[in-house]
Structure formats: C-alpha cells, structure tokens
Amino acid sequence: MALECVREYAELIRDVVVILGVPALFAVGKWLYDQRISSQKAQIELLRVQLEDAKTLRYDNAHTVIEAQKALYELEIEAKEDRITELHNVQEEKHQEVELLRQAALNLREKVEALEKAQSAIGDPSTYPSHREESPMMRFFRLMGEAAIARAKARGEWPSLAEDRQPGEQPSPPTSPSTPDD
C-alpha cells in the first residue's frame, strides 16, 4: 500500500510537470525569441544611424571636391577657348594647336558633365545633416594657431583683442619702440 501511494504521488508529480512544463518551455522559448528579435532590431537601427553618418561625411567631402574640380575645369575651358580665339585672330597657321585645344576643351566639358552627373547622384549638400566632426588635419591647424597666438601674447607681440576695448572705442595703433631725441 505504501508503494502504491508513492506511485500515485510520482504519477501526479509527472502529470503536473508534463502539464505545466510544456507551456513553460513554450513561454521560455517565446521570451528568448522576443529578446533575440528586439536585439536584432536594435542592431539594425544602430547600423542605419552609422550608415547615415558615413554617407553624410563622405558625400559632404565628395561634393566639395566635385565643386572645386568643376570650377577648375570651367576655368581651364575659358582659358583654352580664349586661346582658341586669340590663335584664330593672330594666325591661321596654328590650325593643329587650335584642334588640340578644341579637343582638350571637349574633354574638359565631358569631365564637367561627368562631375555634374556625380554631383546630382550625390544630392544637394543643403539636405545633409549639419553635424560634422572636426577632421584631424583641421584640429592640428587650429591647435597650432592657438599655440602661436599664445606664444605671441607671452612675448607681448600680440595686439590687444577687441574684448579688451570698451564699446565704441577704436583700437589703438601699434606702438613702436621710442628712441630718445638727440
């Protein structure tokens, strides 16, 4: 009878574990799945932010380089076209040079068009976020300038700053060392 009682309790415990254990396993599995999905969503959002920052910095610099190169090409085009006009007016004998310059101007126009296409693909720089980090080169030059100003101030070679003047007061002209009258 005692063995029968122990068996009944063992079966009861087994039934309770089976009945409660399977849903508990599903609940734990669902919780782990939800945790994994939320962490992956957070990673995706972080990667999106990093990608936007990278695009902003890269495209800002690319846009500046393209604008500078475009302006340079346009100046070269003007110079070559002026030279073509000058050669036509001065001598007809320089026909080969005129053709070379014309070809160079055409090549430069093609490069300008390619730059304009690249610029339109990059987009308008006014739509880029305005947050930019100071580049290491710019930080170097800023620190070097500040150090030079500090050395000049320490030696007394730096003129007084506008903050030292009263409102409305004009800056005083630099003083030169005075020599006694002979």
Residues 39, 35: Cα–Cα separation, whole Å: 6
Answer with the residue of higher pLDDT: 33 or 152: 33
In this predicted structure, the answer to whether residue 57 has a pLDDT above a threshold of 80 is no
Please tell me the predicted confidence (pLDDT) of residue 169: 56
Residues 90, 82: Cα–Cα separation, whole Å: 12
SS3 99: helix
- Report which secondary-structure segment, H or E, holds 58: helix 2-90
Q: Report which DSSP code applies to 126.
A: G
168: left (phi over 0), alpha (psi -120 to 50) or beta: left
Encoded tokens for 30: 């669902």
Q: What are phi and psi of 180, to 5 degrees?
A: -65, 145
In this predicted structure, the answer to whether residue 173 has a pLDDT above a threshold of 70 is no
Answer with the residue of higher pLDDT: 56 or 117: 117
* Position 182 confidence tier, pLDDT thresholds 50, 70, 90: very low
Model confidence pLDDT, tens digit, residues 61-96:
777 878 888 888 899 999 999 988 887 777 776 677
Answer with the residue of higher pLDDT: 180 or 64: 64
Residue with token string 């122990």: 6
